[in-house]
Amino acid sequence: MHSLVKGIILSVWIWFIIKVSEKVSGNTKHQIQNEFLYYFIWLWHSYGEISILGLLCAIGVQITDIVIAILCLFSDISKELLGACWVTSLIVVLFVSGGVGIIETGNESKRWLEKIAMYLISIAVFFGAAYFLYPMLQYIFKF
């Protein structure tokens, strides 16, 4: 049960970090046109506007939370294993959305050297996500 509490706390911290970064980042915000998406991530956006980083993080955290909640309620998988998978999945969501946020920042930069640097940093962040995800998948699927 302790790992499930960690997952809930991590979800709340991710929400807090994204909400604060949306206010101070200055990233381009886009209007949400899709009604299903608008209500699916209603807690994450401010008046229907959200950046790409916030959108990816919101969708990833929402889907992760829903899948883990369903598995917790309807399967006989160990709660500690589910909690560990939950925390690992949320960390991967942070890495992937952070990598996309870096790419978005690189697209908005004016000089080509800054763009190349941002793309290389985002590749390193994506490898970090794979580094966290691989042991979890290896344990679950026993390969």
Q: Which one-letter amino acid corresponds to residue 38?
A: Y
Question: Tokens for 15?
Answer: 């929400």
Tokens 């829903």 map to which residue?
A: 66
Its sign, for the CA torsion 130, 54, 40, 65, is positive
pTM score of the predicted model: 0.73
pLDDT in tens, 23-53: 766 667 778 888 888 788 777 776 777 777 7
Arithmetic mean of pLDDT, 124-128: 88
More confident residue, 112 or 43: 112
For residue 46, which phi and psi values (nearest 5 degrees)? Answer: -110, 105
Arithmetic mean of pLDDT, 50-63: 82
pLDDT at 7 over 80: no
- Strand pairing partners for 30? 50
Of the candidates 42, 51, 139, 60, the one whose C-alpha atom is nearest the C-alpha of residue 96 is 60
Identify the pLDDT of residue 6.
76
pLDDT in tens, 84-103: 888 888 888 888 888 888 88
Q: Out of 40-49, 53-62, 65-74, which region has the weakest mean confidence (pLDDT)? A: 40-49
Identify the pLDDT of residue 27.
67
Identify the pLDDT of residue 69.
83
What's the CA gap between 34 and 53, in Å, rounded?
A: 17
